[in-house]
Structure 1
Amino acid sequence: MENPDEIAERIGRGEAFLKQNTKVLGGVLAAAVILIGGILFFQINNQNQNEKAQAEMFQAVYFFEQDSIDFALNGDGINKGFLTIVEDYPRTDAANLAHFYIGSIYLSQKNFQDALTHLEDFSSDDYLVQSKAVSLVGDANLELGNVDKAIASYTKAASTNENKYTTPKYLAKLAVAQEEAGKVADAIATYAEIEEKYYESFEYAAARKHKARLEGLAAK
């Protein structure tokens, strides 16, 4: 047990400290309250904005699925398009998804630089969707002549959540980019991977054909 006099002395020093620093402590407490309140407000506001954006984006998604691309991008005069969603509701999940749609549309329109910009602004926790987006980034880079970047994107897409449905597709794209970069041995190895691992895939027959073609070229 501590000495009662010592305890009283410590309490006294504590009370003196509080009296001397009341304004400082009050300021710190007020700042903490403001900070916590600001964080809560931001989270609630962002959630409300996201819900509103998702509701307004519904029609744009419908236009996209119906191949009404101009309406999907720019709206129909009544409903908002993806471009307006991105502008009006930044930092929301809806805007993030809108970037994916916009990038896909621009890619189909051969507007490769803008497609790349929007696709790189998209991210998803869904492995299949994310690998699809990464593959589209590869497509845009390949069209822009950024072959090494395309190879990196296709490699990442193919290695993300490997499966028998999407992986052989991304490997086939990777092999094309590798051949375009003059990396024939790498392309042969990629086609061989499709041949060995994904013999039930749609890409299997083409992979065998192109592998044989490249092996013939390499033997000359």
Structure 2
Amino acid sequence: MSKKKTDESGLEIIETPEALAGKINKAEVFFIKNRKVVVGIVGAVLLALVAFAGYRFYIESQEGTAQQALASVVYDFEADSLQKALNGSGGNEGLLSIADSYKGTDASNLANFYAGVALLKQGKYDDAINHLKSFSSDDLLVHARAQSLIGDAYMEKNQPAEAISYYEKAAGYEKNEYFTPVYLMKLAIAQEKASKPSDAMSTYKRVVDEFPLSSEVVNAKKYMGLLEGQVGK
């Protein structure tokens, strides 16, 4: 057995060249026995790196084209020309095409949000839900807005139980005086429709207690009064 000693830094070092040669020999034997596995792992890692680099290059090259297409169609959206915004016009791509053709880009992500809003206004609730669920944002206020819109779509479909979870998410993001009480009111109404009067009462109370200066307080107090008989208060 080869002896080891400790140098001034406190690290253990191999005392003899023979011991070092033995270590190297063991590594060579391991590589020979497992050559296919080792080569396969290295190859897979290299392939993954190349694929990722290629994907990022493709996405970056697509982003500029997608942003230009989105800029053209947003005018139709803001003018409330929803059909043109969704399907395009005058040779311009529409929101649905941008969302589908440029997946992975920021423009595609934003197109999903715009498309969800437009489809919701058109009463195409299932399609609206799908597009809004495909949207994500680091801006918590915008993300909360998308969650609330999904809740609205479920309410229009007369599915308050499904709407509740999305209103809860919307109310839970970045609490603020402007939007949170609105989301809480929507949540309470959904809870009422889902036959959960106690939950609705608690949610209305949150509006009154946590946002006393909100314009929603008047309605919250009114609905609380109507619910008192049902919850035994």
Under a length normalisation based on structure 1, what TM-score does the superposition of the two structures give?
0.88
Give the aligned partner of residue 187 of structure 2.
Answer: 174
Equivalent position to 1:123, from 136, 159, 164: 136
**Secondary structure of 2:119's match?**
helix
The amino acid across from 2:195 in the alignment is G
Tell me the percent identity. 41
- 1:172-220 superposed Cα distances (whole Å, 9 cap, x missing partner): 1011111111222222221121112212212122112222222255569
Residue of structure 2 in register with 1:59 after alignment: 72
What runs of 5+ residues in structure 2 fail to find an aligned partner? 1-13
Instruction: Determine the structure 2 residue equivalent to 1:34.
Output: 47
**1:160 and 2:179 are equivalent in the alignment:** no
- TM-score if structure 2 supplies the norm length? 0.83
Structure 1 pair 181/18, CA: closer, same or farther in 2 (3 Å)?
closer
**Higher alpha-carbon Rg:** 2
The Cα shift of 1:161 comes to 1.1
Matching of residue 83 in structure 1 with residue 63 in structure 2: no
- Structure 1 residues 64, 5: closer, same or farther in 2, change over 3 A? same
Residue 59 of structure 2, aligned match among 30, 46, 57 = 46
Change beyond 3 A, Cα 1:55–1:16: same
Q: 1:25 to 1:170 in 2, by over 3 A?
A: closer
Q: 1:24 to 1:65 in 2, by over 3 A?
A: same
Larger mean CA deviation between 10-19 and 28-37 belongs to 10-19
- CA deviation digits over 1:124-162, x for unaligned, max 9? 111101111111111111111221111111111111111
Following superposition, the deviation at residue 4 of structure 1 comes to 3.0
**Structure 1 gaps, min length 5:** none
Q: Distance in 2 between matches of 1:216 and 1:25?
A: 72
- Within the candidate set 158, 165, 177, 1:145 is matched to 158
2:208 to 191, 195, 200: 195
| 1:69 maps onto 2:79 in alignment | no
